[in-house]
Structure 1
Amino acid sequence: MGESTLTAVSAEPLDLSTHLAAVSTASTGAVATFIGQVRDHSPDATDAVVRLEYSAHPDVERALEEIVADVVGPHEDVRVAVSHRVGVLDIGDVAIIACAASSHRDLAFTVCREVVEAVKARLPVWKKQVLADGSHTWVGSA
């Protein structure tokens, strides 16, 4: 069965090397990573995005653990580390890091994508997009 080696929701900046170390073992042949960064635009925004403000449900860490367990459970030979930011993030800041490690690349790629998609769909995090004109929009509340 797959294994979750790190799940976290943090107001502090995320570190890729911490995630890589959490999933790497002597049998690791592949590590797929995803880094989601704050960008200066959004398809649903009427102006440039200047920052994001993430807030979360009080049980968000437990929810993240459950999401990852659901994804990795059916897979053999995979380890996952994933973290999501909360708080105020500027353009270029990292909002999410996900790493999936396995003996082979196909499983690492597949599980990394599945984890990111499940987190995006199910994690109880709310994203406030602050726009250049001072207005804001709410996006992606699971």
Structure 2
Amino acid sequence: MNESHAAVKLVDLRETPLDVAEVVAALEDDASGGLTLFVGRVRDHDGGRSVDGLDYSAHPTAMTRLAEVCDRVAEQYDVTGVAAVHRVGTLAIGDIAVVVATSAAHRGEAFTASRALIDTLKSEVPIWKHQRFGDGTEEWVGAP
């Protein structure tokens, strides 16, 4: 993998619980007037059905792809910091599944970059969700 863009401060896939404070601390910078954070959590429903829990699985290339997405966001937007951490393994309702953040001199650029970061991560990084529903059925989401 190529050396990361200097603005990329934190990129990881973890089986352990995610810490929002760690992501915020990674983007600490006196030049940044705005930091936009998105926290994705496991909800108790999907498509009108109750969800009991889920598992996230990552392809072996997922970490490399996540770093590439972060690098691209850092290059395309005027940001001072980029961070993205995604959970893998078994998660319960309310658990944090993903935390992304960007920092910038101004809030508008931070908002725009963070939106691009989470949207691109969801569409390009090979991480798949296996949902378990209250009625005993299950479903893979995002799997090829």
Distance 1:140 1:28 in 2: 34
Query: Deviations 1:2-37 (Å, cap 9, x if unpaired)?
Result: 711100000011101110111111111111000000
**Which of 57, 60, 74 pairs up with 1:58?**
60
Distance 1:141 1:20 in 2: 30
Distance 1:35 1:134 in 2: 28
Number of the residue aligned with 1:80 = 82
Computed over aligned residues only, the root mean square deviation of the Cα atoms, in angstroms, reads 1.5
The 1:138–1:77 alpha-carbon spacing in structure 2 relative to 1, beyond 3 Å, is closer
Partner SS state of residue 76, structure 2: coil
Number of the residue aligned with 1:70 = 72
Q: What TM-score do you get using the length of structure 1 for normalisation?
A: 0.93
Number of the residue aligned with 1:28 = 32
Number of aligned residue pairs: give it: 140
Gaps of 5+ in 1: none
Distance 2:41 2:79 in 1: 28
Number of the residue aligned with 1:17 = 21
Number of the residue aligned with 2:93 = 91
**TM-fit CA distance, 1:77:** 3.5
What amino acid is aligned across from residue 124 of structure 2 in structure 1?
R
**TM-fit CA distance, 1:72:** 1.7
Q: Does structure 1 conserve the Cα–Cα contact (< 8 Å) formed by 2:18 and 2:87? A: yes
**TM-fit CA distance, 1:103:** 1.0
Query: Deviations 1:56-84 (Å, cap 9, x if unpaired)?
Result: 10121111001111122122343111100
Partner SS state of residue 32, structure 2: coil
